[in-house]
Homo-oligomer: A and B are copies of this chain.
Amino acid sequence: MMLDKFPAIILINPQLGENIGMAARAMLNCGLTDLRIVNPRDGWPSEEAARASAGALDKGVKATVYTSTRDAIADCHLTFATTARPRDMIKQVYTGRAAMAEAHAKINEGQRVGVLFGAERTGLENEDIALANAIITMPLNPSFSSLNLAQAVLMVAYDFMMQGDETAEAQLQTGKTDIAEAATVTDFTTRLIEELAAKGFFKSPDMRPTMERNLTNLLTRHDWTDQDIQTLHGVVSAFVKDH
């Protein structure tokens, strides 16, 4: 499969077609073409989007619609979540510039990178952020940091475009195995949660969503290899088999 040279822009539950179109225009201004849309409120395709894109949706940006964040990031090796303010999660927080330097390095190694953007008013849900490997928070005016959706996309796309092809200072040495795609990691997370539920790990139904999110966060913020995930499956299998 041909690998993209640019990160995918992934809009989660965007409300207005106009904003999707302006985001597409901003992407193509900076050379980005892979637009993924999860559950656009007003449907797709959208006349408002086409108009606001000023031709970008015809001239280069390819938009694909997904029904879940998980599906939209399935083929990504590194996923960033954009948030305006810190969340109570253990994840690496980057500026746009630092994140896109990292994106360049990973793309040069043959990996796929995605950047998640939340809905206009509410931003990303914690469940979506938990699926990402790291966070981007732009270093904006702290007393007025709420960005228009298309403006947020532009800043990230611009930061990507402005980075030269600088080599990463530290590269992960993976030997013969590859960095796991998101689907590989989320499949393992799903299995782990099911096996733990069967073992009575989630004692209180009230706490279960938080506990699941903690587990998901713990497993997504690292750059696992395929071999790592195989090993972890082996660990779980050893624990759950009858003896």
For A167, the chain B residues whose CB sits under 8 A away are: 95, 139
**Considering the chains assembled together, what is the distance between the CA atoms of A86 and B155 in angstroms?**
24
Per-residue B-contact encoding for A89-102, CB less than 8 Å = 1, 0 else: 11111110111011
**Considering the chains assembled together, what is the distance between the CA atoms of A177 and B91 in angstroms?**
12
Count of interface residues, chain A, beta-carbon cutoff 8 Å: 78
- A111: shortest Cβ distance to chain B, in Å? 17
Per-residue B-contact encoding for A7-35, CB less than 8 Å = 1, 0 else: 00000000000000010011011110000
For A232, the chain B residues whose CB sits under 8 A away are: 218
Among B56, B93, B154, contact of A154 (Cβ-Cβ < 8 Å) = B154
For A228, the chain B residues whose CB sits under 8 A away are: 90, 218
For A86, the chain B residues whose CB sits under 8 A away are: 173
- Asked if A190 CB lies within 8 Å of chain B CBs, one says no
In A45-68, which residues have CB < 8 Å from any B CB?
Answer: 54-56, 59-60
Given A90-B225, A199-B243, A201-B238, A25–B173 Cβ distance below 8 Å? no
**Considering the chains assembled together, what is the distance between the CA atoms of A159 and B43 in angstroms?**
35
- A94: shortest Cβ distance to chain B, in Å? 4
Given A97-B169, A175-B89, A29–B243 Cβ distance below 8 Å? no
**Considering the chains assembled together, what is the distance between the CA atoms of A170 and B170 in angstroms?**
14
- Asked if A117 CB lies within 8 Å of chain B CBs, one says no
Among B89, B174, B235, contact of A192 (Cβ-Cβ < 8 Å) = B235
Among B25, B59, B144, B215, contact of A231 (Cβ-Cβ < 8 Å) = B215
Establish whether residues B169 and A94, one from each chain, have CB atoms under 8 Å apart when the complex forms. yes
A-B contact pairs, 30 of them (CB 8 A): A26-B148, A28-B141, A29-B144, A31-B140, A31-B141, A54-B146, A60-B143, A90-B177, A90-B225, A91-B173, A92-B173, A93-B172, A93-B173, A95-B167, A95-B170, A97-B162, A97-B169, A98-B170, A99-B170, A101-B169, A139-B165, A140-B161, A154-B155, A158-B158, A201-B234, A201-B238, A214-B227, A215-B235, A236-B239, A239-B240
User: What are the nearest 9 A-B pairs in CB distance?
Assistant: A98-B169, A239-B239, A201-B238, A28-B144, A94-B170, A31-B141, A93-B173, A98-B170, A199-B238
